[in-house]
Amino acid sequence: MGENTYRAAQQAGGLLPGLDGGPEITALTADSRAVRPGALFAALPGMAHDGRDFIPAAVAAGAVAVLAPEGTPADIVPAGVTLIADANPRRQLALIAGNFHGTQPATIAAITGTNGKTSVATFLRQIWRHLDEKAASMGTLGVSSGVPELDSGPALTTADPVALHKTLAGLAGHGIDHLAMEASSHGLDQYRLDGVRLSAAALTNISRDHLDYHKTPEAYRRAKLRLFEELLPEGAVAVACHEAPDQERVAAIAVRRRLKFTTYGIEAGDIYCPRAEITGTGWQLTLSVGGQTIDTQFPLPARFQLLNALCALALAIGCGADPKAAAAALPGLQPVPGRMEVAARLENGAAAIVDFAHTPDALRTVLTALRPFVTGRLVVLFGCGGDRDAGKRMVTVSYTHLRAHETSKQE
């Protein structure tokens, strides 16, 4: 049997009742247009469409099994096609995908939070590579592994579970044994990360975002915290920023679920900086890590980037890295493109800085970081495109007015 096929009842760990001795599944998809003969089609309910409306098209294309919500009528599929009805088909699809593709990198760390996910994942990949680990990162910027056939450009922060587990298997197959991945609130709420075998997870911060989808701040927060509440296995590492109010909730979850809890921060935390002196090119640091004192440097001047680097360091150490060896990677860390990036120098000598900040808190943090370096005027141009959570626009405007001389908002 090929690596992309399996006899469902034997290799899916009982996840597909009703297929014992039944058809061999050769592919998984939630897109009826991608169905090929032998596929399992997941007919998932969506915000705009109900996947069950596409079952006839999937069957016509060769689907031999259909995964659908509980209560789906059995006669929705013809004879010879197996219907698997499940109370949570999204989660079931993710678990099936994990079993279908099988292999994953041995060490996987997931990062969630409103801001900082991409930078933390990128920094963690760089730290691991400094330690001679075969490492990759995955998230908003796509996949960065050094394997051309696997690397991709910008994508969903958290891929759909079928694509995600296929990528995990591909990374493992190419010898990648360490992965830093972003975990979005959408991905967590939609069970896309279920079935991923996590070693560690981190929470950077939680502030207003995605209320068009989650509706309330508490629902958004619950989606983020699900990473710790349900996905991290007992004994795994949970990391949170000491400065973030929600670290107390992560700490409580860690106690209840027997996770190894670690905090990081600049002034305080299990990993912190007794000395943090900013220079024109970055930071001179003394780190306190588990009783050790380590002198090092960090090349990016923004305070929030130092916090992101400390988060990555905490994850690396939590996953088994030697603290001193991991900290030695900090001076060489490179920023993520589009994050506090100097895009140009104007004729008058002013720097044009580009940043991905798209939430009120993120823009406030960026402007606060820039302010000490501005000797003249600070001019801000920011965009609020689309119709997602339009209520955050005026909050964002209020933050820019407090920290800039001129503001221009583009919609």
How confident is the model over 248-293, as pLDDT tens digits?
A: 999 999 999 999 999 999 999 999 999 999 887 789 999 999 889 9
Which of 17-26, 155-164, 226-235 is predicted most confidently? Answer: 226-235
Domains along the chain with CATH numbers: 6-99 (3.40.1390.10), 103-332 (3.40.1190.10), 341-410 (3.90.190.20)
Structural contact between residues 264 and 309, judged by C-beta atoms closer than 8 angstroms: no
Q: What is the pLDDT of residue 341?
A: 72
Burial of 374 (0-12, 13-18, 19+ CB in 10 A): middle
- Mean pLDDT within 238-256: 95
Burial of 224 (0-12, 13-18, 19+ CB in 10 A): buried
Residue 217 pLDDT > 60: yes
Q: Which of 91, 113, 135, 109 is nearest to 236 (CA)?
A: 109
3-state DSSP: the chain helix, strand, coil percent, rounded to 5?
A: 35, 25, 40
Strands 178-182 and 200-203: unpaired
Instruction: Return the minimum-mean-pLDDT range out of 12-26, 50-64, 280-294.
Output: 12-26
- Residue-averaged pLDDT of the chain: 85
Residue 5 pLDDT > 50: no
For every residue of 148-190, DSSP letters joined together read TTT---S--SS--HHHHHHHHHHHHHTT--EEEEE--HHHHHT
Residue 394 pLDDT > 60: no
Identify the residue with better confidence: 254 or 406.
Answer: 254
How would residue 358 be classed by pLDDT, with cut points 50, 70 and 90?
low
- Mean pLDDT within 374-396: 63
How would residue 7 be classed by pLDDT, with cut points 50, 70 and 90?
very low
How would residue 380 be classed by pLDDT, with cut points 50, 70 and 90?
confident
How confident is the model over 137-173, as pLDDT tens digits?
A: 999 889 999 989 888 877 766 788 999 999 999 999 9
Q: What is the pLDDT of residue 209?
A: 56
Q: What is the pLDDT of residue 353?
A: 76
Residue 233 pLDDT > 60: yes
How would residue 407 be classed by pLDDT, with cut points 50, 70 and 90?
very low
Strands 282-289 and 292-298: antiparallel
How confident is the model over 290-342, as pLDDT tens digits?
A: 889 999 999 988 888 999 999 999 999 999 999 999 999 999 999 887 767 76
- Residues 366 and 144: their CA atoms lie apart, in Å, by 25
Identify the residue with better confidence: 219 or 393.
Answer: 219
- Positive or negative, the CA dihedral 196, 177, 247, 306 is negative
Q: Which of 358, 364, 302, 354 is nearest to 333 (CA)?
A: 302
Structural contact between residues 273 and 288, judged by C-beta atoms closer than 8 angstroms: yes
Q: What is the pLDDT of residue 377?
A: 77
How would residue 124 be classed by pLDDT, with cut points 50, 70 and 90?
very high
Residue 387 pLDDT > 90: no
- What distances in angstroms separate CA 91 from CA 42, 378, 379, one per listed residue? 11, 47, 46
Percent of the chain with pLDDT over 90: 59
